[in-house]
Amino acid sequence: MSTTPQSENLTCDVLVVGSGPGGYVAAIRAGQVGLDTILVEKDRLGGTCLIRGCIPSKALIEAAEHFAKANENTTDNKFGISASTPTLDFSKTIAWKDGITDQLSSGVAGLLKAANVRVVEGWAKFENAKSCTVDDTHITAKNVILANGSVAVEIPSLPYGGPVISSTEALDLVEVPKTMAVIGAGYIGMELGIAYSKLGCDVTFIEASANILPGFDKQLSAPIAKTLRDLGIHVHKNCFAKSVSSKGGIHTLHFETQKGEEQTLTVEKILVTVGRKPCTQGWGLENMAIDMDGQFVKVNDKCQTAMSGVYAIGDLVGEPMLAHKATAQGEMVAEVIAGHKTSFNPAAIPAICFSDPEIISVGVTPQDVLDKGLETIEGKFRWAANGRALTTGTADGGGFIRIIALQNTGRIIGIQAVGRHISELSGEFVLAIEMCSTLEDVASTIHAHPSLSEAFMEAALHALGRPLHST
């Protein structure tokens, strides 16, 4: 990390705390608009998403998919491809993953330097709203942007350490464990659990709710449930992890059912993925006279806190706790400080689960329609009727695109999809909602053939009552 020499006192127009997707973008944009900017980061540039989350997890998922495909080629498969049994050098897998994060972190450093942002390495501790100490350096700022991010939630009876790991440690294991229990079948657990299963680990999920991926409806999670069955992954629903006992290097997870029945599972690793919480401890938040909204920092549509000149963004300010939300807020806040007239008011923020298959949800869901009593029409198109989906495996295991539109105007307010390789369609989905597109807009837009994007057009046609390639 490129750092500024330690100094007794520094002053600046903008002080950004945290170099995740929100913080470093805020700092870059602030520098671009001519504001004297300092960024404080205790770890490597890029934050949790780049170093310990989004990017390395997707790298591991990609490597796992390649290994799974190679194993499929040892049998007589539908492609007519055959090969000898593959082997896995997991140290090379991790080295490749680390190479990607190193490259991106270095890229962030270069962008900050180009924007004339000073970087101070260390942990910022605030004594008041506009002043903090980083080791022996004291920084006073006219404006402060808090981008402190979030940390993994810990189960009190299963503290991290030994066989109990968070997603951070799961991305840095030196070898693939033979067995693993994943506590929580949400999107983080699902992504990592499926990846490690494909790498040869015997995975078992312990989920407190009645369904996997409780943030998505059953129609969307059904194809993932099929993948779990195909991979031989066991799922214990309505179950609660209680404790772990170890003896002679053998670790036993104790959990119980909703009815109070006690059960045990012997595993090498216990991956806890029960959510994340904002990082609000240990840096002086209590000294800043800032209002809270539950566990989150309370902000308005410009991400301003109750203290003038202090802003908060990203995971610190509430759901959705997603990197791209933080990025958008970071850019916006820098422009607000520069005097631009702008605010954070997106029509929709995409949520993606990089499971197998992938899930996208943008805007209003069917449950929202019921809860709000909206009058809507719905269109659906299954991948099985899309040529490109059939050739790429997207149609395997089912999957579809669903469009929800207002009945009286046809304006699209929600889009969901499940299928392999569909995360790249999220941009088109968000754009449609952000631009207030109607079903007719999408249906009359010529989509390239053969492509997965055609399914979006077909779903719109279905909602309009004139489907071409479905009934």
- State the catalytic residues: 449
Q: How far apart are CA 314 and CA 352, in angstroms?
A: 17
- Provide the strand spans (E) within 249-347: 250-257, 262-267, 269-272, 276-278, 292-293, 296-297, 310-312
DSSP, collapsed to helix, strand or coil, labels residue 376 as strand
Nearest Cα neighbor of 1 from 37, 39, 43, 54 is 43
Decide: 112 and 44 in contact? Cβ < 8 Å: no
Q: Please tell me the distance from the alpha carbon of residue 255 to that of residue 240, in angstroms, as a whole number.
A: 5
The Cα–Cα gap between 348 and 149 comes to 21
Q: Which of 15, 6, 21, 20 shows the shortest CA–CA distance to 35?
A: 15
CB 112 within 8 A of CB 37: no
What gap in Å lies between CA 65 and CA 325, rounded to an integer?
28
CA 43 to chain centroid, in Å, comes to 20
Backbone angles phi, psi at 345, to 5 degrees: -145, 60
Q: Are 95 and 15 in contact (CB under 8 A)?
A: no
**Cis omega (within 30 of 0) on the bond before 350?**
no
DSSP readout, 34-50? T--EEEEESS-TTHIII
